[in-house]
Amino acid sequence: MSINIGIHDLSFATTEFVLPHTELAAYNGTEIGKYHLGIGQESMSVPAADEDIVTLGAAAAAPIIARHGSDRIRTVVFATESSIDQAKSAGVYVHSLLGLPSATRVVELKQACYGATAALQFAIGLVRRDPAQQVLVIASDVSKYELDSPGEATQGAAAVAMLVGLDPALVRIEDPSGLFTADVMDFWRPNYRDAALVDGQDSINAYLQAVEGTWKDYTEQGGRSLDEFAAFCYHQPFTKMAYKAHRHLLNYCGYDTDKDDVARAIGQTTAYNTVIGNSYTASVYLGLAALLDQADDLTGRHIGFLSYGSGSVAEFFSGTVVGGYREQLRTEANRAATDRRKPVSYAEYRALHERSFPTDGGDHPTPAQTTGPYRLAGLSGHKRIYQSR
């Protein structure tokens, strides 16, 4: 059944602080070209001591509630790799901070960087069942690797919130999807670890295998042909990965990989990820925000989405941009979200990276650092305490 459901609104938030890659390079002696050109990253978002996936998620979602209200929202799906509790959904804290109605179902989803796409597809299923309802999807992550590891340069943090509903104002999400799952250990994070474990080159290969797998299934399911797409939003652990993935897809389909064609397909999707870094589940949708904010009129054009989550699960699907979408964009707020960040030195970043709460159940207030609308005030009796401004 073809029904007009998709992304009605999209808003994102990122952190209080930012570490320019020049600082990291000056500390570890890396030639800056490796960061700026080799991996395509200029800077990475660094959470303040009183920021986490909840404060970022709430900050991303608040403008959506302010614009549309919450009357039709009966489900909140919170997707994350960097969960803060083994049992309670981070979405329940966000539900409380935003003052959403008690008649709401809230749940957390996890599959590395793919979780938000699962959330989006599940949301579409719920709206199909009851088109009067809307679903608030929140993708929020803090990407953390070991200090002094190759992954360190590909950290970042951000949250994207999307309102999913009937007759969307931004992008209609279409059937079919191309799906791919393979049990690989390219990137994972055991419950007792803060920082992810990763085999860098293996993870790149696993991602490229998933590009082939999803495209093969997408084609078999009767999807669009490659030249119908105006642009492609890939998961961007670092922005050069989107270029690698697209070249791989073109090769796989027997197309030339002309540099300008690849740049045309990808270039406008990388603006936010280049300065934010890896935001895991949020990354592919930051790509969408950047594309919509920068491209000439995309009305009626098709966008290809490739969502990859290590471990691994991936999905390729298509979205069609809806007429009038430009009036709904949050371009100024999006630019402000990255421009407002305060640069930190390498030493300040390192101190924040090394912070963790004691596990003794005592009272552990956090220093007031963020100027954002929500903050993590501390931990008390093993409970996280949040505040709104």
Written as one string, the DSSP assignment of 237-292 is SSHHHHHHHHHHHHHHTT----HHHHHHHHGGG-HHHHHHB--GGGHHHHHHHHHH
Would you say 5 or 113 has its CB closer to ligand CAA? 113
Write down the least CB distance from residue 334 to ligand CAA, Å. Answer: 21
Q: Tell me the CA distances in angstroms from 355 to 13, 181, 348, 386, one per residue in order.
A: 22, 35, 11, 18
Which residue lies nearer to ligand CAA by CB, 38 or 343?
38
CB of 153 to ligand CAA, least distance (A): 5
Distance CA 84, CA 92 (A): 12
The least CB distance from residue 12 to ligand CAA, in Å, is 17
Q: Which is nearer to ligand CAA, 122 or 238 (CB)?
A: 238
Catalytic residue, chosen from 8, 23, 51, 113, is 113
Is 382 an active-site residue? Answer: no
Enumerate binding residues for ligand CAA (CB under 6 A): 31, 33-34, 37-39, 113, 150-151, 153-154, 186-187, 198, 200-201, 203-204, 207, 235, 237-238, 241, 278, 280, 308, 310
* CB nearer ligand CAA, residue 232 or residue 280: 280
Is 235 among the catalytic positions? yes
Output the residue with the shortest Cβ distance to ligand CAA: 38
Round to whole Å and give the CA distance between 65 and 270.
27
DSSP conformational letter for 36: I
Nearer to ligand CAA, 281 or 320 (CB): 281
Shortest approach of ligand CAA to residue 269 CB, angstroms? 15
Taking the CB of residue 325, how many other CB atoms lie within 10 A of it? 17
Q: Is 280 in contact with 160 (CB distance < 8 Å)?
A: no
Q: Establish whether 233 is a catalytic residue.
A: no
Q: How far is the CB of 186 from ligand CAA (least distance, A)?
A: 6
The nearer residue to ligand CAA, 204 or 303, going by C-beta atoms, is 204
Query: Could you tell me the smallest distance in angstroms from the CB atom of residue 155 to ligand CAA?
Result: 9
Q: Where are the beta strands (DSSP E) in the chain?
A: 5-14, 17-20, 43-46, 73-79, 105-109, 134-143, 156-166, 171-181, 187-188, 197-198, 229-234, 302-309, 313-321, 342-343, 363-365, 374-380, 383-388
Closest CA to 240 of 213, 216, 262: 262
Q: Which three-class secondary structure state does DSSP give residue 150?
A: helix
Spot the catalytic one: 16, 23, 51, 81. 81
User: Are the beta carbons of 293 and 334 closer than 8 angstroms?
Assistant: yes
**What is the set of active-site residues?**
81, 113, 235
